[in-house]
Amino acid sequence: MSRAGVARGGGFFLLLLALPFFGLAHWVVNLLVFVLMFAIMASAWNLVGGFAGYPSLGHAAFFGIGAYSMALMFHGAALSSGYEPFVALPLIGLVGAVIGWPIAIISMRTRADVFAIVTITFLFMIQTLAFNVRSLTGGSQGLSLPVAPFPAASYERPFYLVLVAMLAVAMLLTFGAMRSKIGLSLVAVRADEDKARGIGVRVSGVKVLAFSVSVGLTAMVGGVWAYYETFIYPQFAVDPLITIAVVLMTFLGGRATLWGPVLGAVILEAGQQTLAYRLGGSQFYLIAYALVFLVIMLLLPRGILPTLEERIRLRRRARVANAPDTPGAARTADAGRVALAPGGRS
């Protein structure tokens, strides 16, 4: 990572860590908690939907699995410090990953179309189960969790800090993937999977790995959400809108980039809260969301960051080409390379 990259990452996380100590209003911290949840989930989705090019439509199911795992673990339990549920998060991530493993193996054997079909069907199946297996989930009555014994003045703070840590993990994993042969393999899979398989790339391995890590992280976010809400209902815990939001954020910011999903989450979650506030709980909200989605897909299919990088690259190219003594192809190439590398060597 370049010095600028370290500075950018370090600065971002320092700012995040400092924010709750500025005495922000509860609603602001609450908003930030949700922005963080979506930033983590979008980063997670990006691993499989962005890098590998397998658009999962079922991530909301894993969010729900995480939420219900947390609820079942602590339903009716008494908390002393209030940090016990956070300690259980790695376990919940593991549960998500273990459930995701066979699904990835079966559904990623064929094509992206079939993968999308399996994941969305899985989502609806989990949704049905959440409603119908009442002995476990309480059906539409929902499940309650103990309320965290945190002081009211800074109630959100522990949740917030845990989520910041999880975002750091998600981004480090993404960064690690990009800088290792995992990322290299994933790009190859996305570009031409048959060719990649034919040159000995561990195609199935990296796909399944990416999917498992991705859904594991998503399940962990579901766990934090359940604890934060203290009461979960199937229609919110397993909500197709979560999938669509996460996908949309990744697309808006830029697929297969480190910062794209985070940027998308910041823009859209803030926008979403405003929309929800303006339009109330009414169904106009759904229409607005779908329209925003469609407009982004049509006008900015590559996302903000890749589009900007392309602009910068072209401008640099033009400058190099216009310079009196052109220093040759190598330098032009470098400029292009740096701009286009998905965080690779810049």
Partner 1 sequence: MHALVQGVILGVLTGGVYALMASGQTLIFGIMKVVNLAQGAMVIMGAYLAYQLFVSFGLDPFLAIPITTVVMFGLGVAVQLLFLRPLRRDDKSELSLLVTFAVALLLEGIMSVTWSTTYRSINTSYANSSWTVLGYQITAVRVWAFALSLLALGLLFLLLNRTRFGRAVRATVQNPESARLLGIESDRVAALGFGLGAATAAAAGSVYGLLYPFYSGSHYDLISRLLSIVVLGGLGSVGGAVVAGVIVATSSAVVAATVSPAWSEMTFFAVLILVLLVRPQGLFGTVGRGAI
Partner 2 sequence: MSALLGVDAVTKVFGGVRAVDGCSLEVAEGSVTALVGPNGSGKTTLFNIITGYLGADGGRVTFAGRDVTGRDPGRLYRDGLSRTFQQARVFPQLSVLENLVVAAGYGWTRLFTPRVGRADRERADELLDEFRLAPVADLLAAELSYGQRKLLEFAAVLMSSPRLVLLDEPTAGVNPVMIETMERHIRSRNAAGITFLIVEHDMTFVMRLCDPVIVLDAGRQIFSGRPDEVQNNPLVLDAYLGG
Stretch touching partner 1 by CB under 8 A, among 21-29, 73-81, 127-135, 226-234: 127-135
CB count within 10 Å of CB 230 equals: 14
- Choice between 76 and 200, CB closer to partner 2: 200
What are the angstrom distances between the C-alpha of 9 and each of 16, 29, 89, 125, 174? Answer: 11, 21, 24, 39, 13
Tokens of 198: 């034919």
Under a CB-based contact definition with an 8 Å cutoff, are residues 70 and 222 in contact? yes
Residue 334 interacts with partner 2 (CB under 8 A): yes or no: yes
Residue 196 interacts with partner 2 (CB under 8 A): yes or no: yes
Residue 253 interacts with partner 1 (CB under 8 A): yes or no: no
**Using CB under 8 A, which residues numbered 63 to 122 contact partner 1?**
106-107, 109-114, 116-118, 120-122
Q: Which of 282, 308, 245, 279 is nearest to 49 (CA)?
A: 245
Helix axis angle, 89-107 to 203-229, nearest 10°: 140
Tokens of 256: 């297969």
What is the smallest separation between the CB atom of 3 and partner 1, expressed in angstroms?
34
Stretch touching partner 2 by CB under 8 A, among 14-22, 76-84, 111-119, 190-198: 190-198
- Choice between 311 and 337, CB closer to partner 2: 337
Question: What's the one-letter identity of residue 223?
Answer: G
Among 6, 98, 147, 192, binds partner 2 (CB under 8 A): 192
What is the smallest separation between the CB atom of 84 and partner 2, expressed in angstroms?
32
What is the smallest separation between the CB atom of 212 and partner 2, expressed in angstroms?
14
Among 29, 32, 51, 55, binds partner 1 (CB under 8 A): 55
Task: Say whether 114 sits in a helix, a strand or coil.
Answer: helix
Among 23, 194, 277, 281, binds partner 2 (CB under 8 A): 194
Tokens of 62: 């894993």
Tokens of 276: 């929800």
What is the smallest separation between the CB atom of 133 and partner 1, expressed in angstroms?
7
Task: Say whether 239 sits in a helix, a strand or coil.
Answer: coil
Under a CB-based contact definition with an 8 Å cutoff, are residues 65 and 96 in contact? yes
- DSSP-assigned letter for residue 55: -
Residue 303 interacts with partner 1 (CB under 8 A): yes or no: no
Residue 191 interacts with partner 2 (CB under 8 A): yes or no: yes
Residue 6 interacts with partner 2 (CB under 8 A): yes or no: no
Residue 133 interacts with partner 1 (CB under 8 A): yes or no: yes
CB count within 10 Å of CB 42 equals: 32
- Whole-angstrom Cα distance, residue 76 to residue 296? 44
Q: Which does 109 bind (CB under 5 to 8 A by kind): partner 2, partner 1, none?
A: partner 1
Write the CB contacts of 56 (distance below 8 Å, at least 6 apart in sequence). Answer: 45, 48, 49, 115, 116, 119, 211, 214, 215, 243
Residue 327 interacts with partner 2 (CB under 8 A): yes or no: no
- Report strand pairing: 231-232 vs 143-144: antiparallel
Residue 257 interacts with partner 1 (CB under 8 A): yes or no: no
Under a CB-based contact definition with an 8 Å cutoff, are residues 142 and 233 in contact? yes
**Using CB under 8 A, which residues numbered 61 to 120 contact partner 2?**
none
Residue 201 interacts with partner 2 (CB under 8 A): yes or no: yes
Would you call 294 exposed, middle or buried from its count of C-beta atoms within 10 A (0-12, 13-18, 19+)?
exposed
- Choice between 129 and 335, CB closer to partner 1: 129
Q: Which of 59, 48, 63 is nearest to 112 (CA)?
A: 48
Question: Which residues of this chain interact with partner 1, rule CB under 8 A?
Answer: 53, 55, 57, 106-107, 109-114, 116-118, 120-125, 127-129, 132-133, 193-194, 197, 240-241, 244, 247, 251, 282-291, 293-294, 297-298, 301
Question: Which residues of this chain interact with partner 2, rule CB under 8 A?
Answer: 178-185, 187-188, 190-192, 194-203, 205-206, 209, 329-330, 333-334, 336-337, 340, 344
